[in-house]
Chains A and B, each alone.
Chain A
Amino acid sequence: MNGFIKSTKEINQIVIIETDGYLNNEGGIAISTICYEKIDMGQTKFLINMAGTKVVNSIGVSILIEIIEKLQEVDGKIGYYNLAPIVSKTFNIMGLTKYSTVFETEDEAVNGL
């Protein structure tokens, strides 16, 4: 587990990845590496707990777009929760919220994905 990925767990067949720190290119790749491994193993639902990520850049977020695209091939879904307001706003501006879902809490995310 690298420093950016704080933990991974599974609830109700949903893979939950908890991040910590700056979502830049390396952070994005760390998330996508886990997602692609899990997709290869048959998982199709993913949540990112971004409580520890207060800063992002568009390069890191672009990698989330790549994950969304990959998940479309397997009829999968991705969502996010515990977002800082500026992270949520960035996701809106870039259009991620058209293809994935932002939730407030883990309970809401697990039940709503």
Chain B
Amino acid sequence: MKKLVPVVELKLPILPNMELIATQTAEVIANHMDLSEEQSGEISMALIEACINAFEHSKTENNVFIHFLIEEDSLIVKVIDQGIGFDKTKVEIPKIENKIGKNERKRGWGLQLIQALMDSVEFESNGEGTTVTMKKNIKN
């Protein structure tokens, strides 16, 4: 019989700093899974950025849902919004050299941080919403 994967689910309203509720939950789960402090910090930072993207760019007032799937060898975090979606191919990879001393917007680092901090990241997006699926493998 297949073992059920424990899942923790959060529903966040789009209000200032609600992403910190997600990071507090992530810390509890990381402790439960015996993840290192480094891994826990990386998951929290990636989660903050994914939540902020969902809050800011989904252009909706609907709640954002977060699912933590506690697998034997990894933690999978899904951040799900019901917004207008986005085209990842149109998101430029930011470089600080292109931002400093030029009349460029300094923001826009979320996706790069998420990809740098997690072991794998997938984006599914259409006109009805976006799901970001982030995976952190457990190091032995």
Q: A residues engaging B (CB < 8 A)?
A: 22, 24, 55-59, 61-63, 65-66, 68-69, 72, 84-86, 89-90, 93-96, 98-99
Contact = CB atoms under 8 A, between A and B. Distances in A.
Contacts, number: 69
Contacts of A72: 100-101
Given A85-B41, A86-B44, A93-B116, A57 B19 contact: yes
Interface of B: 17, 19-20, 23, 37-38, 41-42, 44-45, 48-49, 52, 94-97, 99-101, 106-107, 109-110, 112-113, 116-117
B42 A94 contact: no
Closest 3 CB pairs of A and B: A86-B41, A95-B96, A58-B109
B95 A58 contact: no
A68 B42 contact: no
User: Chain A contact residues: over half helix, strand or loop, or mixed?
Assistant: helix
20 contacts: A22-B17, A55-B44, A57-B52, A58-B107, A62-B107, A65-B99, A66-B106, A69-B101, A72-B100, A85-B41, A86-B42, A89-B117, A93-B116, A94-B94, A94-B109, A94-B112, A94-B113, A95-B95, A96-B96, A99-B100
B23 A59 contact: no
A62 B17 contact: no
A22 B45 CA distance: 12
B70 to A, nearest CB: 21
A74 B76 CA distance: 46
Contacts of B48: 55, 57
A36 B109 CA distance: 24
A86 to B, nearest CB: 3
